[in-house]
Chains A and B, each alone.
Chain A
Amino acid sequence: MLEGAATAPSSGVGGTRTASPQTPLFSARSELSRRYRRRSRAREIVTAYALLTPTLLLLSLVLAYPLAWEVWISLTNFSPLNDGPTAFVGVANYRHLLSTEEFWRSATVTIVYAVVTSAAKLALGIGFALLLARPFRGRALVFLAIFLPWAYPASVSVIGWYWTLSPPIPTAYSVFMGTMKYAVDGAFGGGAWAFLSVILFNIWRGSSFIGVFLLAGINAIPPELFEEALLESKSRWQRFWLVTVPLLKPFIALAIFLSLTTAFADLANVWMLTAGRIVFPVVGTHAYWLAIKGGQYGPAAALSLMLVPVLLATLLVLFRIFDSPEATHA
């Protein structure tokens, strides 16, 4: 009897099998088993870290090291154009950047670009998701049509867009598009047409992704929640704002965040669509310009690092608003 009662806590409550049930004296048992438990707990922690090590190594190799290097570069005058040794310059690169007109211009363009495209992608994406959430004849084809822009390689589809907006063969259409380009450039300055194409391309490609993403979100919500809304609410509009949007909040937050980050860090799309003739620089192209074309590694590193706090703040705000702790499913 005593044997069983005394050993129960050591093997049962602690959840470990290392505690020995063969301890000799009853009075010593609880103290001993506690010590055993503490030791085995320590061993578990060591094991946990051992198991984490490969991941930590990999992450520090591909994330921490480059990031740390970039932070270091942003604090120096490192440049291939520099003859002398690299010198630590403190926050001079940051201060210099903030004083240049190009920085403010690229920052403004980036924010406008990110906000405009994200808003449009979200609106279209929700529309697509709601359209696809209900069964109808030919849904598979519509799904394919909506998802294709995302699945198709950007490098190929970008040429489609380039030719759509600047037709290579003279036709009535090309004359019309020429007139459009003239009008847009006339209103917003040279290069505006090209930048408009960047915005359109981003929306076209991204809205398909957000649509499919939110569709997955809708499918994860129990259908009874929508049916209850159908029984109780008057209009689609009510149902959309009072039921669909709140239930989709966590997915919407993530979609906005993904959309904002890709826009903030965009370089490739802008470069490809404008063939490098950049009149409206975003942070990505400006940093590329500074580093690769200008050899100014320090300022370029500083510029791209300035994105980090902005993105972090956005992330925090988004998840505060959209994914509050109470918003988990019942």
Chain B
Amino acid sequence: MAQVLMKDLNKKYDEVHAVKDVNLHIRDKEFVVLVGPSGCGKSTTLRMVAGLEEITSGEISIGERVVNDLPPKDRDIAMVFQNYALYPHMTVYDNMAFGLKMRKFPKAEIAKRVHEAAEILGIQELLKRKPRQLSGGQRQRVAVGRAIVRHPQVFLFDEPLSNLDAKLRVQMRVELKRLHDRLETTAIYVTHDQVEAMTLGDRVVVMKDGWVQQVGEPLELYSKPANRFVAGFIGSPAMNFIEAGIKDGGALWAETAGFRVKIPPDRAERLKSYAGQPVTVGIRPEDLRLATGGDSSDHTFDAVVDVVEPLGSEILLDVKAGSNTMVARVEPTVRVKVHEPIRLALNAERLHFFDKKSEAAI
């Protein structure tokens, strides 16, 4: 059990600055997910913690120890790789026992730990098989088992579910979460899948171009994104963005061709200085709905249906309002047709505003 500290962490390759001034404090027993598009530096960060990449500058400590100059084997970590990294020439048992054997654990202790882990993961029957005789999901279980038996201070997961099919991924996701609740070992988990990040992480670190964009609990990232990138990255379908101008006519209005909404008074204060300037308005698809007679014209606008995506539990409407396109998530009982003009209402309390230049939330 240990905390992990990253201080001013940087990684530079010849031409590329892959990780920039990352500062993270991962608490003991915490499950932290690094998420971002490919090339954002999340895997490089993880690999620096593992010791598989050299640190260009900055400091990493695990527990109380600075590990910058420690070889990977001495860092007391265990890693699970995307392609499982099981040894084809060893049985499942030997794969799981590998790290313990290398560390000269007594045979009885190895057997005890392997069987324990196999039981947790439900792979007791597979111990004598070779990896090639296993399905993808089983292989991933073995890879997780190999990490568990070591009782490491920190688990490192590098996109462990990416090679599994969608259904299995959801199932393994739940199991990993349950496993973490049971083992209470600090875990750092890298993924490009924001759903995985939101469901697994106690806290989520969103990265882009080597920079940490925001660190926070999943719902905090969702409801209070720090900038336009995080707002667009977290949530599916993604947040709608509308380029609008702020008009001050007594009350503040955000408007552009085909779209005009009144900014609620509690938001107006911070937006006042943007009067006469362009901003980006962010609206989550679920904050849009079909307008009824009772909705004030302050928060409704006209749109035309472009595409209807009935998903069963909900319907996604791709609509056009003037030159703006957006997605609305509406009740499954709604019946509209393509090209049909509709009137949409939005939840003004939950509007997001971003500075056009810095993209930071206002």
Name A residues whose Cβ lies closer than 8 Å to a Cβ of B: 222, 224-225, 227-228, 230-234, 238, 242-243, 246-247, 249, 326-330
- Given A330-B131, A330-B132, verify A232-B89 contact (CB < 8 Å): no
- Given A224-B81, A231-B50, verify A329-B102 contact (CB < 8 Å): no
- Chain B 178-206, CB-CB to A under 8 Å as 1, else 0, gives 00000000000000000000000000000
Is residue B245 contacting chain A, with contact meaning CB distance below 8 A?
A: no
- Chain B 64-107, CB-CB to A under 8 Å as 1, else 0, gives 00000001110001110111111111000000001100110000
CB–CB A247/B72 < 8 A: no
Q: In the docked arrangement, what's the CA distance between A232 and B50, Å?
A: 11
Q: Which of A231, A233, A238, A329 contacts B79 (CB 8 A)?
A: A231
Most buried by B among A222, A230, A243, A330: A330
CB–CB A233/B73 < 8 A: yes
B98 / chain A contacts, CB cutoff of 8 Å: 232, 242
CB–CB B87/A225 < 8 A: yes
Q: Interface residues of B: mostly helix, strand, loop or mixed? A: loop
Q: Smallest CB–CB gap between A218 and chain B, Å?
A: 15
CB–CB B103/A246 < 8 A: no
Name B residues whose Cβ lies closer than 8 Å to a Cβ of A: 50-52, 71-73, 77-79, 81-89, 98-99, 102-103, 130-132, 134, 139, 150
Give 16 new A-B contacts, CB below 8 A, not counting A230-B72, A247-B88, A249-B89.
Answer: A224-B82, A224-B85, A227-B81, A231-B50, A231-B77, A231-B78, A232-B98, A232-B99, A232-B102, A232-B103, A243-B87, A247-B89, A326-B89, A329-B88, A330-B84, A330-B134
Q: Smallest CB–CB gap between A212 and chain B, Å?
A: 24
B99 / chain A contacts, CB cutoff of 8 Å: 231-232
CB–CB B132/A224 < 8 A: no
CB–CB A222/B88 < 8 A: no
Nearest A residue to B94 by beta-carbon distance? A242
Q: In the docked arrangement, what's the CA distance between A224 and B134, Å?
A: 19
Q: What are 27 sample pairs from A and B whose C-beta atoms fall under 8 A apart?
A: A224-B81, A224-B82, A224-B83, A227-B52, A227-B81, A228-B81, A228-B87, A230-B71, A231-B50, A231-B77, A231-B78, A231-B79, A232-B98, A233-B73, A234-B102, A234-B103, A243-B87, A246-B87, A246-B89, A247-B87, A249-B89, A326-B88, A327-B88, A328-B88, A330-B86, A330-B87, A330-B131
CB–CB B85/A234 < 8 A: no
Q: In the docked arrangement, what's the CA distance between A36 and B66, Å?
A: 75
B103 / chain A contacts, CB cutoff of 8 Å: 232, 234
Q: Which of A224, A227, A327 contacts B89 (CB 8 A)?
A: A327
Q: Smallest CB–CB gap between B96 and chain A, Å?
A: 11
- Given A224-B81, A330-B132, verify A233-B102 contact (CB < 8 Å): yes
A232 / chain B contacts, CB cutoff of 8 Å: 73, 98-99, 102-103, 150
